[in-house]
Amino acid sequence: MQNRTVKSRLFCLHLVLGFGLLLSGCGKGSPEQTPAARKPQSAAKSTYTIGMSQCNLGEPWRVQMNADVRAAAEKHPNLKVIYKDAQNDTLKQRAHVEEFVSAKVDLIIISPKEAAPLTEPVAKAVEAGIPVIVLDRRLLGDKYTCFIGADNRKIGRAAGEWIKKTLGGKGKVVELKGLMTSTPGQDRHAGFREGIAGSAIEIIFEADMKWLEPEARKEMESALSRFSKIDLVYAHNDPGAHGAYLAAKAAGREKEMMFVGIDALPHEGVAYVSQGILSATFQYPTGGAEAIETALKILSGQPVPKEITLGSRLFTKDNVARGGDPLN
């Protein structure tokens, strides 16, 4: 009898120890697992609330990202997503993250406007035990749960290589950059310069158009007034390339040059390629569906990678009808 009690106590001890190990040590040493994902989840809930912080909804690409999040989340009745739009205001976006933390949401998805100012509120959310998925634009450091986005440096490099080949290794190029305090702008710039390295391509004009079509149009007006010969405009996104095209068209010069952009939304960049407005665009997927897929894993205590890299496709007039080609 006593022996049985001792045995059953020992058995319980093993169980408890085993379970404890499972909770604390599971996946340790696996570089794939993030601290937040390792945390024991509180008992499964019937509904999980996700706070989605979008930096702005003024651009079609961001509207698409929210639509992708919504479509994926709607398939899971146990998910409730609260959407906040910071209207391109960094301070507002910081406040939105803080509000999600005070409201004790179960998880935050953020597509941050700028890296530096959003790093601290996200780190605080993680410290408060709320997992955070960062979408598309990066933060500084590693105090987040998972980053999801395409490789902007690779896309920039592919754009540079495509431009180098298309221009036969020489020509006068205008570069209209995305917001340079955001990481995609920095990476699309650095990658592009790597892509054209060693060629006789000359960047005659460069400006930060902050991802915005009206800004791109204004900057392009300056470029047109200063340079009588422009062979190609490389813009870090399709709204920027389209703004440049509109400026050139207004000056009656749009046929003198080519326009290249990034994003490739079907109803935006890809349509511009089909219409002959853009010569090329590189797809930049929103990651909305992947964010929900990853959120579900985190909420159920499964390990997730620290980083999920999405692919891209190139669209030109030659391949647009068959849906573009993947980037290698």
Stretch that binds ligand FRU, among 12-20, 59-67, 164-172, 243-251 (CB under 6 A): 59-67
Binding-residue pattern over the window 27 to 46 for ligand FRU, x denoting contact by CB under 6 A:
--------------------
Stretch that binds ligand FRU, among 17-25, 57-65, 160-168, 316-324 (CB under 6 A): 57-65
User: Among 62, 138, 154, 189, which residue sits at the site for ligand FRU (rule: CB under 6 A)?
Assistant: 62
**137 forms part of the interface with ligand FRU (CB under 6 A):** yes
Amino acid letter at 247?
A
**61 forms part of the interface with ligand FRU (CB under 6 A):** yes
**175 forms part of the interface with ligand FRU (CB under 6 A):** no
Q: How far is the CB of 262 from ligand FRU (least distance, A)?
A: 6
Q: How far is the CB of 13 from ligand FRU (least distance, A)?
A: 52
Binding-residue pattern over the window 239 to 268 for ligand FRU, x denoting contact by CB under 6 A:
-----------------------xx-----
**211 forms part of the interface with ligand FRU (CB under 6 A):** yes
Q: Crossing angle of helices 238-250/213-226, nearest 10°? A: 40
**136 forms part of the interface with ligand FRU (CB under 6 A):** yes
- HEC per residue, the chain: CHHHHHHHHHHHHHHHHHHHHHHHHCCCCCCCCCHHHHCCCCCCCCCEEEEEEECCCCCHHHHHHHHHHHHHHCCCCCEEEEEEECCCCHHHHHHHHHHHHHCCCCEEEEECCCHHHHHHHHHHHHHCCCCEEEECCCCCCCCCCEEEEECHHHHHHHHHHHHHHHCCCEEEEEEEECCCCCHHHHHHHHHHHHHHCCCEEEEEEEEECCCCHHHHHHHHHHHHHHCCCCCEEEECCHHHHHHHHHHHHHCCCHHHCEEEEEECCCCCHHHHHHHCCCCEEEECCCCHHHHHHHHHHHHCCCCCCCEEEECCEEEECCCHHHCCEECC
Between residue 283 and residue 302, which ones bind ligand FRU under the rule CB under 6 A? 284
Nearer to ligand FRU (CB atom), residue 121 or residue 184: 184
Q: How far is the CB of 304 from ligand FRU (least distance, A)?
A: 22
Nearer to ligand FRU (CB atom), residue 145 or residue 182: 182
Q: How far is the CB of 186 from ligand FRU (least distance, A)?
A: 11
Q: How far is the CB of 246 from ligand FRU (least distance, A)?
A: 16
Residues in contact with ligand FRU by the rule CB under 6 A? 59, 61-62, 136-137, 178, 182, 184, 211, 237, 262-263, 284
